[in-house]
Amino acid sequence: MERILTLNIGATRLALAEFEVRPGRGPALLRYTFGELPEGAAESPDTFSVELEQALRGMMTASGIHPGRIHVALSGQMAFPRFVKVLAEGDDKMREQIQFEVEQNVPFPLSEAIWDDALVGQPDAGEQHVMIVAARSDLVKAVAKGLLNAGCEPELVDVAPVALYNAVRFNYPEDEGCTLVVDIGARCTNLVFVEQERIFYRTIPVAGHTITAEIAKQFGLSMEDAETFKCTQGLVAQGGAFAVDDPDVDRLSKVIRNVMTRLNAEVSRSIAFYRSQQEGSAPVRVLLSGASSQLPYMQNFFEEKLQVEVDFLNPFQTVGYPTDVDAEQFGSDAFSLPVLVGLALRRGLTCPVEISLVSPEIIARKAFRKRIPFFAISAAGLIVFMGIWLAYVGMLGGIYEKQSKTVASQLSAYNNLKSQYEDADEEATKAKDLANAYGTLLASRDTWRDIVRAVDDAVEDDLWLTKLAAKREGGTLQGVNLSVSVWRDRERDHSASGKTIDETVIANLAKAKVGTTKVFESDNIVLDRKEGRGKVDQAQGKTAESEWMTTFDITANLSGVKKEQPKRASSRRTSRR
């Protein structure tokens, strides 16, 4: 069930109701209550919000009505109406004309006003009737503030005469011709002309309070006593020889009639204005409404004066109401409820005339509230997204954990393999070093083979090689030391022309090659000790002579050995055998 609160704000009286509303159907009254405002409260917007809040809270507490969304109607005195005609052109042109009429007709600065307009009736002779309603913005804001502080969210701010019009159109849909609603309230009387789709209204400052003030004046009573006297003994005197046995009551009835005669004069002038200036028709019926219309013989008075059918406005002909209430009391209170019904119709139905004097702040609140479902959907979507994300992250976490275990297992196996590989690599390194050592030995063997072969080639037959030893420095082979002996009688045969036998052997050593590479170098090659290779730079020989044998020593540096101090020495020693 959807519900809506409606509030009619009068000069000194409040009427609050709660309705059940359903889209496309009429509302149903659930409960209602009345409250009071201090005298002249609406004249001070600064304090009006507080007084409205306090009164509204008390009414809701007493009646059991809970705060909620609310439709509000300002009394006719709180808003300024103006009925104008504009050319029935395009929407933009009509809006420009309406804006101009507002600037010309609203009796206070537009910066201090909240206004709205409605097209009434069908265009006639190229002209469109427009109703403009304006109210002071400080008053409207004070009303909104008081409602919000009381926990009620204002959805629209209407005016009582327009709400009355909508209530009549909904409850009396078959009536033809012009209907005049005379709503006699406490401080003012609303005259509402209802003619098909046309509306015209005026607010007259002659109402129940005027009657009470006149009684107090004529009888010398206080306002409170005069109000009590009116409500308990008051009636409207009839014309002619009408008289009441009680002289005070008779006098009271005539006082009331005099005030009503003043009101009737205003009603007659309003009818004449409506017919002449608004091109309306004369009323064919009058509907009475408002608390003061309940005075006895009020219906008879207007029938006598206006010469038309007069009845009381029943706002519940097509609107539901509670059946568990005091019928007599509800029948009396119903005169004060038409405005509340008209406000409830604005929820769920499209009314013939719709006015809303909502302040910009309330419009902003409404716009924000409309976005709340989208915010909720967005939040829900975000929550769902986060849930999906968390589920996805959880799934990834599971996959990661599973993969991590697999990788850890594989890594452990790889580490084992790596350890085995490192062990094998270490063994391979050792084997390689051993192989290199063997290779070095083999190379050394080949070197010695080449050296021995070169020495053997250099020492000719009949020469004895008595010594062949390695020359080393720091463990590096530098050359060879050799001793050669020859029979003296054979020495000449093995000597080259102009050379001695030792010079011949040295020359042979210098020419010795392995392939194209010299084994020993001549004495002009520099020794390179850093590389550990030797080169023959000079052959040194010691020759010893004997009677029958010559012996000499030779030191031959290998090719590539850094050159040392060049020496040449020869000594001959002779041995006997």
pLDDT of residue 63: 93
Fold of the 173-316 domain: Nucleotidyltransferase; domain 5 (3.30.420)
pLDDT of residue 368: 55
CA angle 445, 451, 452 (to 5 degrees): 90
List Cβ neighbours of 372 (8 Å cut-off, separation of 6 or more).
Answer: none
pLDDT of residue 521: 67
Q: Nearest-CA neighbor of 72 among 44, 52, 100?
A: 52
CA angle 260, 264, 267 (to 5 degrees): 140
How far is 113 from 109, CA to CA, in rounded Å?
7
pLDDT of residue 49: 92
pLDDT of residue 371: 64
Which pLDDT tens digits describe the chain residue by residue (577 residues)?
Answer: 689 999 999 988 999 999 999 887 889 999 999 999 988 888 888 899 999 999 999 999 999 999 999 999 999 989 999 999 999 888 889 999 999 999 999 988 888 999 999 998 888 878 899 999 999 999 999 999 999 999 999 999 999 999 999 999 999 988 889 999 999 998 899 999 999 888 999 999 999 999 999 999 999 999 999 999 999 999 999 876 667 788 899 999 999 999 999 999 999 999 999 999 888 999 999 999 998 999 999 999 999 999 999 999 999 998 999 888 888 899 889 989 999 999 999 988 889 999 999 877 776 666 656 666 776 788 888 888 888 888 888 888 888 888 888 888 888 888 888 888 888 888 888 888 888 878 777 777 777 788 888 888 888 777 888 888 888 887 778 888 888 888 887 777 777 777 787 788 888 888 888 777 787 766 532 322 222 223 334 444 455 555 678 888 888 888 766 555 444 444 444 443 3
How far is 429 from 437, CA to CA, in rounded Å?
12
Q: Do domains 1-172+318-358 and 173-316 have the same CATH topology?
A: yes
Q: How many residues does the chain have?
A: 577
Provide the Cα torsion 465, 471, 475, 478; round to 10°.
Answer: -110
Q: Nearest-CA neighbor of 552 among 497, 457, 488?
A: 488
How far is 367 from 350, CA to CA, in rounded Å?
20
How far is 4 from 572, CA to CA, in rounded Å?
145
Q: Nearest-CA neighbor of 16 among 42, 45, 53?
A: 53
576 neighbors 548 (Cβ within 8 angstroms) = yes
Fold of the 1-172+318-358 domain: Nucleotidyltransferase; domain 5 (3.30.420)
Q: In a 10 Å sphere around its CB, with 0-12 CB exposed, 13-18 middle and 19+ buried, how is residue 221 labelled?
A: middle
How far is 406 from 411, CA to CA, in rounded Å?
8
Domain boundaries, the chain: 1-172+318-358, 173-316, 459-574
